[in-house]
Amino acid sequence: MTGSTSYAQSTYPMEAVRFSGEPMSRYSHRSETSSKQVHVHFCPRCGTTLSLTFERWPEFRAISRGAFDDPNSVSISTHIWTSSAQTGVMLPPGTDCFQLARADLAGSPQTPECFDTPRFARGSDA
């Protein structure tokens, strides 16, 4: 979806988000872990990913931080799916890190790792 090492999003209750302008295009795929649909909503003109919605969590919409007027206006408090991070990706100190999702398939919250110093997501072989 990103062609990059990561994807930054902020997640909001579905009713808290409204879009204007022309309708977005959508690509859907089945999650490898939950077997539920993940819907990628994107600009039909340029292909920029704007949003994600989830069969697993229908009450939430993730907004791509790159679509914000100021992507730095929202702080990053969590890193998810660190187990699939590319070599060389550094996890910052003081940030909750989850090897997979924040919740397991049954919906139970997972315990994050939080580091005192920067740490490579995939060992120190960067």
Q: Would you give per-residue pLDDT tens digits along the chain (126 residues)?
A: 666 778 888 999 999 999 888 999 999 999 888 899 999 999 999 998 999 999 999 999 999 998 888 988 888 889 998 988 888 899 999 999 999 888 888 888 999 999 999 999 886 654
Give the DSSP H or E segment for 38. strand 37-42
**Of 78, 76, 30, which is closest to residue 54 (Cα–Cα)?**
30
SS3 48: coil
The predicted structure's pLDDT at residue 92? 92
**Of 87, 24, 115, which is closest to residue 61 (Cα–Cα)?**
24
CA distance 110 to 92: 19
**What's the whole-model pTM score?**
0.80
Spatial neighbors of 18 by CB under 8 A, at least 6 apart, are: none
